[in-house]
């Protein structure tokens, strides 16, 4: 799991797709950049669409969630982020955002889609 330093909640590591970059390549690149370790995609878990506010600005995201395997131990390559393993039996007690990601993880690689309405 990833967490911005000083925050109490977690999110999955990943990032933005560059123009012309396939999403799978973007994920592998982002994991290498953020964690300093090689990884590979082993399955597609689902899609979570959500909205949130950060520092007064509204955001709308569509997250594609993949099951990956990581080589080695994750070591943050970003000054503002920290990473750690979260045992699966602790996920229900963890503030993981967006919350629908917990459902995706629980289902494994069975495809899952969670739509979002602006009033949620």
Segment 115-120 mean pLDDT: 59
CA distances from 37 to 10, 32, 62, 63, 71 (A): 20, 5, 25, 22, 6
Over residues 27-53, the pLDDT tens digits come to: 999 999 999 999 999 988 888 989 888
pLDDT band, residue 78 (cuts 50/70/90): very high
Distance of CA 45 to the CA centre of its chain: 11
pLDDT of residue 54: 85
Over residues 79-117, the pLDDT tens digits come to: 999 998 888 889 889 999 998 888 888 776 556 666 666
Say how far apart CA 81 and CA 10 lie, in whole Å.
10
pLDDT of residue 17: 95
pTM of the model: 0.83
Give me the residue label for tokens 């990956």: 68
pLDDT of residue 115: 63
**Cα angle value 112/114/120 (rounded, 5°):** 165
Domain boundaries, the chain: 2-114
CATH fold, domain 2-114, is Nucleoside Triphosphate Pyrophosphohydrolase (3.90.79)
pLDDT of residue 102: 87
Say how far apart CA 50 and CA 96 lie, in whole Å.
13
Say how far apart CA 120 and CA 114 lie, in whole Å.
12
pLDDT of residue 40: 96
Over residues 64-76, the pLDDT tens digits come to: 999 999 998 889 9
Q: Which helix (H) or strand (E) holds 118?
A: none
């Amino acid at each position: 799991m990833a967490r911005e330093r000083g925050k109490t909640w977690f999110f999955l590591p990943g990032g933005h797709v560059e123009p012309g970059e396939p999403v799978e390549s973007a994920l592998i690149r982002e994991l290498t950049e953020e964690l300093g370790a090689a990884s590979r995609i082993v399955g597609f878990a689902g899609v979570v669409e959500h909205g949130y506010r950060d520092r007064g600005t509204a955001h709308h995201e569509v997250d594609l969630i993949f099951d990956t395997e990581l080589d080695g131990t994750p070591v943050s390559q970003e000054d503002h982020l920290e990473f750690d393993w979260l045992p699966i039996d602790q996920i229900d007690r963890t503030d993981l955002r967006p919350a629908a990601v917990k459902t995706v993880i629980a289902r494994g690689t069975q495809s899952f889609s969670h739509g979002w309405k602006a009033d949620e």
